[in-house]
Amino acid sequence: MALLEAKGVNVVYEPNRGQRIWSVRDVDLTLQEGEFVGLVGESGCGKSTLGFALTRMLRPPAHLEGGVIRFDGEDICALEGEPLRRQRRNGFAIVLQSGMNALNPVRSVEHHFADILKAHARDKEDLAAGTLRARGAQLLQSVQLDPDVLDRFPHELSGGMRQRVSIALALALQPRLIVFDEPTTALDVIVQSAVIATIKDLQAKQSFTAILISHDLGVVLDATDRVMVMYAGRILEDQPSKELLRGPHHPYTEALLRCYGDPRADEVHLGGIAGSPPDLSLPQEGCSFAPRCPLAEEVCRQVDPALTPLGSGRVACHVRARESNLTTKARDDL
């Protein structure tokens, strides 16, 4: 059974004054136990909002508007109070972008571990200071930090170390699903690749289910098994990472891939995408990428394409779906 299943999820930001913003629109997704999935998109595409919705972290003015989210078979949309807290204990955890600021500046790292372990302790669990400290040390070791870090305060640690502490804290209750929301965006390139390597390694060893949210397709393709590409609140493409790299289906994914290159190549040409994403406070007509799409046709401007199976993934594109139908039909005719 799938660990996480979302159907028709919509998230709306509804400020007291001003317009409603449709941040996530009609998202369907399924995560199998132990899968490592990437969620990629540019700023404002709704990827973090979706990550928050899946872990029940949305706060006003954002709220779910329709849709079902099942975690381990249980509908978590309606959970409140103690049952929600129980889910958060061993269900899911989230690592935020600014791990640097997620730690309490006046408390030692040890206190952070003790706090989480005590707050979510089960009956008759050993809460002796020594036990908690040993557990903290062990968690720090799993993210390649020295146990001495327990006695340090956040300001004594570098950005990369603080982000590693946040990851260790997320692991503390052995959650089944961890959402990493831009865990390396504030870090420099060398530290970024080291932190991503740690996450990849942890996921492989402890086989929790993970979602890596990032604006950087390069990072995500390198780390994950499967990638979902978001644009203007919708998932446009969902494919195994290796296949997405070899043969992207959606024109947006193709264009995104052209924005990267290898600095060591003989000739480097960086592509871009002209235009800008649509205003999500306005009703969307047709495919939201159509105004920037080189393949757009009349139907693209009128009908929003559904996310339909294609090859080993899914794509939301009229043109590509039709092309694939044609090739299937041609094969059948032979």
Partner 1 sequence: MTSELDPAAARPPGAADGGPAGAPSRAVPALVVDAVTKTYAARGRRKSAVTAVDHVSFTIEPGAAIGLVGASGSGKSTLAKMISGSQRPTTGSIRFGDTVVESLHARGLREYHRSVQMVFQDPYGALNPLHTVAYTVSRPCQNFLGLSATKALDRVHELLETVGLAPPEQFAAKLPHQLSGGQRQRVVVARALACDPELIIADEPVSMLDVSLRAGILRLLARLREQRGLSLLYITHDLLSARVVTDQILVLNKGRVVERGQTKHVMQHPQDDYTIRLLDAVATPYAAQEPPPAS
- State which residue, 139 or 255, has the beta carbon closest to partner 1: 255
DSSP E strands in the chain: the ranges are 4-13, 21-31, 36-40, 62-64, 68-71, 74-75, 92-95, 177-181, 209-214, 226-231, 234-240, 308-310, 313-315
Instruction: Provide the minimum distance between the beta carbon of 216 and partner 1 in the complex, in angstroms, as a whole number.
Output: 6
Angle at 209 between CA 154 and CA 25, to 5 degrees: 95
Measured CA to CA, the distance from residue 184 to residue 295 in angstroms comes to: 34
Buried-exposed string 69-103: b where 16+ CB fall within 10 A, e elsewhere: bbbeeeebeebeeeeeeebbbebbbbbbbbbbebb
- State which residue, 106 or 265, has the beta carbon closest to partner 1: 265
Instruction: Provide the minimum distance between the beta carbon of 193 and partner 1 in the complex, in angstroms, as a whole number.
Output: 4
Instruction: Provide the minimum distance between the beta carbon of 154 and partner 1 in the complex, in angstroms, as a whole number.
Output: 18
- State which residue, 129 or 265, has the beta carbon closest to partner 1: 265
- State which residue, 1 or 270, has the beta carbon closest to partner 1: 270
- State which residue, 272 or 283, has the beta carbon closest to partner 1: 272
H/E stretch holding 163: helix 159-171
- State which residue, 138 or 193, has the beta carbon closest to partner 1: 193
Measured CA to CA, the distance from residue 85 to residue 334 in angstroms comes to: 58
Helix (H, G, I), strand (E, B), or coil: what is residue 281? coil
Instruction: Provide the minimum distance between the beta carbon of 213 and partner 1 in the complex, in angstroms, as a whole number.
Output: 15
Instruction: Provide the minimum distance between the beta carbon of 38 and partner 1 in the complex, in angstroms, as a whole number.
Output: 11
Which phi and psi angles does 87 have, rounded to 5°?
Answer: -60, -40
Q: Which residues bind partner 1 (CB under 8 A)?
A: 42-43, 188-193, 196, 215-219, 221-222, 245-246, 255-257, 259-266, 268, 270-274, 276
Instruction: Provide the minimum distance between the beta carbon of 268 and partner 1 in the complex, in angstroms, as a whole number.
Output: 5
- State which residue, 61 or 271, has the beta carbon closest to partner 1: 271
Measured CA to CA, the distance from residue 20 to residue 280 in angstroms comes to: 9
Buried-exposed string 20-54: b where 16+ CB fall within 10 A, e elsewhere: ebbbbbbbbbebeeebbbbbbbbebbbbbbbbbbb
- State which residue, 166 or 224, has the beta carbon closest to partner 1: 224
Please give the distance of CA 204 from its chain centroid, rounded to a whole number: 17
Measured CA to CA, the distance from residue 31 to residue 11 in angstroms comes to: 19
Is the previous residue joined to 61 through a cis bond, with omega within 30 degrees of 0? yes
- State which residue, 262 or 332, has the beta carbon closest to partner 1: 262
Greatest alpha-carbon pair distance for the chain in Å reads 73
Report yes or no: 307 and 316 within 8 Å, Cβ to Cβ: yes
Instruction: Provide the minimum distance between the beta carbon of 137 and partner 1 in the complex, in angstroms, as a whole number.
Output: 26
Instruction: Provide the minimum distance between the beta carbon of 274 and partner 1 in the complex, in angstroms, as a whole number.
Output: 8
Instruction: Provide the minimum distance between the beta carbon of 323 and partner 1 in the complex, in angstroms, as a whole number.
Output: 23
